[in-house]
Structure 1
Amino acid sequence: MTSGVGYTRDVFLWGISGIYLMAFASLYVQIPGLYGENGILPAKLVLQEKIDSIEELLDGAPTLMKLTPRLGLNAQGGMDLLCLTGMLVSFLSLIFSGARDTVAYTLLWMLYLSLYQVGQTFLWFQWDILLLETGFLAIIVAPFNLQLPKKWRMSPYHQHDSITLWLVRWLLFRLMFASGVVKLTSKCPTWWGLTALTVHFESQCIPTPLAWWWHQLPVWFLKLSCVATYVIEIPIPFLFFSPFRSMRIFAFYSQLILQILIILTGNYNFFNLLTIVLCISLLDDEHFKYKTERQSSWLVRIINTLASALVYGYIGYQTCHLFSLKINLSPSFSVTSSTAFSQPQFTAWLDWVVPWTMTLGAVSLGYEVIMAVYRCMMEKKAMQWRLVSVVQCVLFGAVSAGMLGISMVPHTVISKPAQQYLPRAIFSYRSTLQPFHLTNSYGLFRRMTGVGGRPEVVVEGSDSLEGDWQEYEFMYKPGNLSRTPPVVAPHQPRLDWQMWFAALGSYQHNTWFVNMAYRLLQGQPEVLQLLQHNPFPGQPPKYIRATLYHYHYTQNNGQEWWVREKKNEYFPPVEKDNPSLVQYLKHAKILEDDEDTKGKLEGKKRPRQSSYTHRFVTFIRMFIGQPDGFRFIMSLLAAALLIKIYNKYFW
């Protein structure tokens, strides 16, 4: 008797390897412009000069970057080395099944955590912490692959695989359920009025060409799509823990459809692909056409059919009731919808249901552990091997229970009253482990921005305050009115993303924006390579300014995709030697004081010999440069695919 998820586990680990490769490669091409010595937000700002003990390594934000000075590397070189190592390990794991083990995923997690700790605002995204949490679970899910003598070797698949994959399923539940409820707890009028999708496709960070077409769909259809989003994200995740396999598969395809639609209409880097990889935990080997011992009796099939009809019918009835769905056939077909419950009613329901989700998680995990132990005892093996399997199940069950416990703290963020059911010790344990980001809270698209038009910051340069101001064109974000929206995922252009957030606030709260303007005034090539078009190829302009515009989609897709209206000044004109600008950057430690500069110049009088690691990292950087992120990722994935095909069919 097997767990029936061995191949499913392999598919999950293979998917995580691909996500890691995308994440490391996407970040690598942007390091010089973002984190280099002359970058927008140098990594050296958050690094100590030297550490002398393990305690200092783990103190504060644990990161391997603290060790890179011992290899003769500066901050950029250290990030380059970590990214290159991550790309190599994930590339090998993507190709060879033997490389997908606990050691590999431990290294990948440590590398990405190390980069995250020094990434500052450019790495503070929910998909980054989601990758860290998923990556840590991959360490638990992955096999050890110990090279033991043949007579001592065990099967590469274990009964506890279903327990560890359950943790992935629990993470998926927390992600989707929280993403659904925060849309309503935020009290955003567009989500409550079901009009969020009438502005989403226009206001999202980097839309795709299909987003324009979806924006033109009838309002009634977009409101109905909003209802469908609520259904997929709030009630359907409860089916993740259904004892009926057909319901879990239904939940899988519901989530898959949602993620594919998001991929088609928005560039959300590797986030949606990572969510799809999490959804694999809902499947089993039978779904992949692998032989299992499943033989359902006619009674079980009848119960399954009746239960499915009851559950789907209940969800459908409540959806029609809570959103007042009504079909209109004349004068033209449409479906009207409106929210038929109040904010206090939803809050009361949420406070009631969240404790039950905690109970559901505990009961479901207990069931998985009991069934795994039962399968161990039913195995056709010698007694000592069955006892070893039982011990493994108990051990991984205890680890999973611990992970479930500390995950309850971020899970109950959506309903603070539910926290009273948690022991105080759990908060302490979670706080201690928080620097490692083992568990996190989520909630995507909490509030819909850009209701009156998507705000965009347009950066301009000029050689005279009264002269002709010319625009800097960013790589992917809207700027040029006639440029076709790009398809850039799974690459994440992190500068373009932060420009979207900057437009929602002010430059006073975005130190990196001020430094970006300064680097443009200097004509720093590393920063300019993050842009699509530099209007001053000869020498940098004397002045830089930024203006806030509101962009809207055109109604008819002709020569232009966008129209825009000027709102106000975002960043006043400044020149490179402006005293206020220089003092601001010195206060932020981005520019060094004269005394610091003098000390470093004196230090340079005693040149240090370049290390082999430094020369290697520098050579690779000179060889690769800063290529287009999308093409770079696609090239690596294509190479991995070709090697895998060659190994399978020609080796």
Structure 2
Amino acid sequence: MAEPPRRPRELFLAGLAAAYLAAFVSLYLQLPGLYGRDGILPLRRALRPGGRGLRALLGAEPTLLWLSPRAGLAAERGAELLCLLGAAAALCALLSAALRDCLLLAAMHAAYLSLCRVGQVFLYFQWDSLLLEAGFLGVLVAPLRLFRWRSAAWRAHDGVTFWLVRWLLFRLMFASGVVKLTSRCPTWWGLTALTYHYETQCIPTPAAWFAHQLPVWFQKLSVVATYVIEIAVPLLFFAPIRRLRLFAFYCQVLLQVLIILTGNYNFFNALTIVLAFSLLDEEHVAYWLGRSKKKHAGSWPPSLLAFLSTLLELAAYALLLYWSVQHFGLEIDWEKKVLESKVAFTYHEFTQWLRTVTLPLVGVGFLSLSWEILSALYRCISVRGCFWKLWALLQWAVFATAAVGVFAVSLVPFTYIDYESNGKLWPGIHHMFNAVERFQVVNSYGLFRRMTGVGGRPEVVLEGSYDKQTWTEIEFMYKPGNVSAAPPLVAPHQPRLDWQMWFAALGHHSSSPWFASFVYRLLQGKKDVIRLVQLDEAKYPFSAQPPTYIRAQLYKYWFTGSTETGEGATRWWRRQHVQEFFPTVSLGDPTLESLLAQHGLKVRPPPQTPLSPVCAPPAWPWGSAHPPRAPPRTRRPPSARRPPSCPGCWSPSGASASRSRARPCCGPCTSAPPAPPCCAPSPAGPGGGHPRPATKGPSGGTRWTEGAARRTGR
């Protein structure tokens, strides 16, 4: 039998640790501005216990941040601690093979899941879901090393769990290719998507400007290559011939490297390459490292097998080329000296083909997994020693069962590409998926399903003023704004506010409730939020004093052409004003106050009522570091009590909220805890009752909004 892929497994675990490290560090740098007490979406609005016990809270929303108050930490401090611990664990696993342990990976997975479950709109991206699913598989793949302090030997069942990584890669790539056609996007069907993509993606790189200048025929050919790599080549992931799997590996790496060069997609493309390591074998990685063993001449039967393998390999390449020529009308125009291409099939024909192949692909996956399970069983039986053989069989039974369970559950999001096939799945599989969906063990994927920005990329530009007469643009660090500023290189960091600004520009501001809170924090001059916009205070025009008024304008941006001269030759962008995106507002403005209250981003003060003779203390405020002190046993007469606006009352936004010990509420004060008066329990439901995205879409565990699904399906 083939040599077990120990080195590919180590590459996968090390790459997974690197992705975790990038994700934790990037999020940690943005936590205060995004989720802090004075951030855009404070975590306290997503963590409202409502008087429930810890078990009920974890069942409703599986996040370790429920433990923050019990540890004497505010929610945002607990999130920062999770990021620091996760980053430290990821760094240890990256630097030391002995620490690439299933327990350490489980800790990283739990920390990132805890953050994603309460991260609201800023953590609703497909790569967050992909990292969670890959991280869960990493727990199954990684050995238990912490108690042995030496490199664990390859276990008999490791091939079974490592196969799940290959299955995840197949689902990711195949679905990403299919949704481009099922979306009926005219640019994908017309093969013109890449003529818009480079300038309309969220944060392009400088290389994207040069790629945008390529001729149209080459852009169309690039779309054809994308379809081939994402739809046809993934079928080779399960080929029994290793050279076909290696060919598939290098095709995926080529695509991801080109995306990395032209776009800032944080750790996503690097993580996809890490998943592709599951296509490699021990011999090929040893060849990379210069440690490959010399092969001796084989006997006649192995030589015959090698000859037949070569024939099948050539036949696969020929079939792939024939399929590409036939379905995309590839033809050389000798006069223009270009390679013309067009889609040579209809939407109906494609959906019929997809309906025909979806369930057979599930069967191919099941047969491939069954082969891995039977091979692992053979290796278990071959183990020497009765005790060790029984121990190997026990592990095989546990991990084979887990692999079959994960494979079965993953069929639900995978078959979202064809809902008729999804409906044919056994109902028990749907029940299993519903039971684990909130843990995001499996998710659906579908990148760039529709191309936005046709006719110009929409971009929101913020403007501030002190007198409503002179307006100054507020320039972001990463997203396009200044037409003379070069596109940045950001990856693997993800500026999540810049990304959401890109999504906000695709619709009305009411579709992005967080935007009103963002404007409100800028008007208040909150430093943590300002650092999300500009780290350099010299580049922020209102660093000395917050603006009195803020408005937002909608522009359309285009890359400049390579033939432009004069002033345009020094610019990267050109733009045109479209309309007002957000009205002029200031602190206390009724429009802004209404938007904040409508979306639950600012607490409305309760109406004033006469003081009651007895007022029970409020529930423990979860933003406080300690529980409130008990009320005194001896009551003062009503006339001697504090007025409603006394500084002793707990206020979530006032100065007393930051005190280490909050006093009990002494009346129906105007700074009561969220929702009810301070003497009543909070009725908040699971997750604080904050609104979930209106549409779930075919995302499985991935929670998204319709606006976010337009372009990338995130």
| TM-score, normalization by structure 1 | 0.89
Q: Residue 376 of structure 1: CA displacement?
A: 3.0
Corresponding residue for 2:424? Answer: 421
Seen in structure 2, the aligned counterparts of structure 1 residues 184 and 409 have a Cα distance that, compared at 3 Å, is same
Rounded Cα–Cα distance in structure 2 between residues aligned with 1:6 and 1:606: 52
Match of 2:474 among 472, 476, 499: 472
For 2:190, which of 193, 199, 212 is the aligned residue? 193
- Is 1:444 matched with 2:450? no
Is the contact made by 2:252 and 2:276 (CA closer than 8 Å) also made in structure 1? yes
Which residue of structure 1 lines up, in the alignment, with residue 356 of structure 2? Answer: 352
Q: Retained in 2: the 8 A contact 1:457–1:570?
A: yes
> 1:487-498 alignment to 2 at 5 Å?
487-498=489-500
Q: Which residue of 2 is the match for residue 631 of structure 1?
A: none
Equivalent in 540, 548, 553 of residue 542 of structure 1: 548
* 2:153 aligned partner: 156
Name structure 1 gaps, 5 residues minimum.
611-651
**1:28 has 2:28 as partner:** yes
- Per-residue CA deviation, residues 150-191 of structure 1 (Å, 9 max, x unaligned), is 9xx995311211111100000000000000000000000000
Contact 1:145 1:156 in 2 (8 A): no
Residue 570 of structure 2 is matched in structure 1 by 559
Q: Distance in 1 between matches of 2:346 and 2:276?
A: 32
Alpha-carbon distance in 1 for matches of 2:293, 2:407: 29
Query: Which residue in the other structure is 1:376 paired with?
Result: 380
Check 1:147–1:293 CA distance in 2 against 1; reply closer, same or farther (3 A cut): farther
Aligned 8 A contact 1:3 1:375 in 2: no
**Residue in structure 2 matched with residue 646 of structure 1 by the alignment:** none
Q: CA deviation at 1:54?
A: 4.2
Structure 1 residues 49-198: aligned runs within 5 Å: 49=49, 53-145=53-145, 147=147, 155-198=152-195
Contact 1:3 1:162 in 2 (8 A): no
For the 8 Å contact 1:460–1:470, the answer to whether it is kept is yes
Please state whether the residue corresponding to 2:464 is helix, strand or coil: strand
Residue 338 of structure 1 pairs with residue 385 of structure 2: no
Shift in alpha-carbon separation, 1:370–1:575, aligned structure 2, 3 A:
same
Instruction: Report if aligned partners of 1:3, 1:372 keep a CA contact under 8 Å in 2.
Output: no
- Which segment drifts farther, 590-599 or 301-310? 590-599
Equivalent pair of 2:58/2:66 in contact (CA under 8 Å):
no
Determine if contact 1:51/1:66 at 8 Å carries over to the other structure.
no
The residue aligned with 1:459 is 462
Maintained 8 Å contact 2:143/2:152? no
Which residue number in structure 1 is paired with residue 698 of structure 2? none
Comparing 11-20 with 580-589, greater Cα deviation is found at 580-589
Q: Which residue among 286, 300, 303 is the counterpart of 1:298?
A: 303
Of 508-517 and 46-55, more deviation after overlay is shown by: 46-55
- Taking only aligned residues, the RMSD between alpha carbons, in angstroms, comes to 2.1
For the 8 Å contact 2:101–2:146, the answer to whether it is kept is no
Structure with greater Cα Rg: 2
State the shift of 1:592 in Å.
2.4
Counterpart Cα distance in 2 of 1:82 and 1:511: 27
The 3 A distance-change label for structure 1 pair 600 and 360 is farther
Q: Which residue of 2 aligns with 1:397?
A: 400
**Change in CA separation of 1:194 and 1:386 when aligned onto 2, cut-off 3 Å:** same
Q: Write the distance in 2 (CA, Å) between the matches of 1:41 and 1:83.
A: 18
The alignment partner of 2:460 has SS state of: strand
Count of residue pairs brought into register by the alignment? 604
2 CA distance for matches of 1:246 and 1:359? 23
Q: Which has the higher helix share?
A: 1
Q: CA deviation at 1:390?
A: 3.1
Provide closer, same or farther for how the CA distance between residues 428 and 165 of structure 1 changes in structure 2, counting only shifts above 3 A: same
Q: CA deviation at 1:49?
A: 4.6
Name the aligned partner's letter for residue 660 of structure 2.
R
Q: Find the aligned partners of 2:528 and 2:647 in 1 and give their Cα distance.
A: 22
Residues 187 and 21 from structure 1, CA distance in 2 versus in 1: closer, same or farther, beyond 3 angstroms?
A: same
Identity among equivalent pairs (%)? 48
Tell me the distance in 1 between the aligned counterparts of 2:586 and 2:93. Answer: 49
> Which residue, out of 309, 320, 323, partners 1:318?
323
For residue 588 of structure 1, what is the aligned residue in structure 2?
599
Contact 2:409–2:430 (CA under 8 A) maintained in structure 1: yes
Tell me the TM-score normalised to structure 2 length. Answer: 0.82
**CA shift at 1:51, angstroms?**
6.8
Larger mean CA deviation between 42-51 and 67-76 belongs to 42-51
CA distance in 2, matches of 1:17, 1:155: 18
Verify the 8 A CA contact 2:133 2:440 in the aligned structure 1.
yes
- Matched residue of 1:4: which SS? coil
Aligned to 1:645: none
Q: Which residue does the alignment assign to 1:570?
A: 581
One-letter amino acid of the structure 1 residue matched with residue 39 of structure 2: G
Distance in 1 separating the partners of 2:604 and 2:647: 11
Change in Cα spacing, 1:438 to 1:20, as seen in structure 2 (3 Å) is same
Which residue does the alignment assign to 1:504? 506
Contact 2:193–2:223 (8 Å) recurs in 1: yes
8 Å contact 1:51–1:57 — kept in the other structure? Answer: no
Match of 1:602 among 637, 649, 667: 649
Partner SS state of residue 566, structure 1: strand
- SS of equivalent residue, structure 1 residue 514: helix
Q: SS at the partner of 1:59?
A: helix
Look up the match of 2:675.
none
1:254 has 2:301 as partner? no
8 Å Cα contact 1:6/1:161 also seen in 2: no
CA contact (8 A) 1:169 1:278 kept: yes
Separation in 2, partners of 1:417, 1:307: 33
The one-character-per-residue Cα deviations of 1:600-637 (angstroms, maximum 9, x if unpaired) are 85134995369xxxxxxxxxxxxxxxxxxxxxxxxxxx
2:305 corresponds to which letter in structure 1?
Answer: V
Contact 2:97 2:151 in 1 (8 A): no
Instruction: After superposition, give the CA deviation of every residue in 1:112-141 in whole Å (9 maximum; x if it has no partner).
Output: 000001110000000000101111000000
Q: Any conservation in 1 of the 2:551–2:583 contact (CA below 8 Å)? A: yes
CA distance in 1, matches of 2:165, 2:658: 53
CA–CA distance in structure 2, aligned partners of residues 518 and 608 of structure 1: 27
**Is 1:386 equivalent to 2:433 in the alignment?**
no
Please list the CA deviations of residues 571-603 of structure 1 after superposition, one character each: whole Å capped at 9, or x if unmatched.
111111102312321333322233599698513
1:218-257 maps to which residues of 2 (within 5 A)? 218-257=215-254
| Greater Cα shift, 583-592 or 472-481 | 583-592
Alignment CA distance shift 1:506-1:52 (3 Å): closer
Indicate the residue corresponding to 1:633 in structure 2: none
Of stretches 400-409 and 367-376 in structure 1, the one that deviates more from structure 2 is 367-376
Conserved? CA contact 2:105–2:138, under 8 Å: yes
- 1:266 equivalent in alignment to 2:271: no
Aligned to 2:483: 481
Tell me how far apart the structure 2 counterparts of residues 605 and 33 of structure 1 sit (CA, whole Å): 18
Tell me the SS of whatever aligns to 1:602: coil
Quickly say closer, same or farther: Cα 1:236–1:478, change in 2 above 3 A.
same
Q: Is contact 2:585-2:591 (8 Å) kept?
A: no
Distance 1:246 1:398 in 2: 30
Q: Residue deviations 1:23-66, cap 9 Å, x none? A: 00000000111111111111111102577644223222210011
2:533 is aligned with what amino acid? L
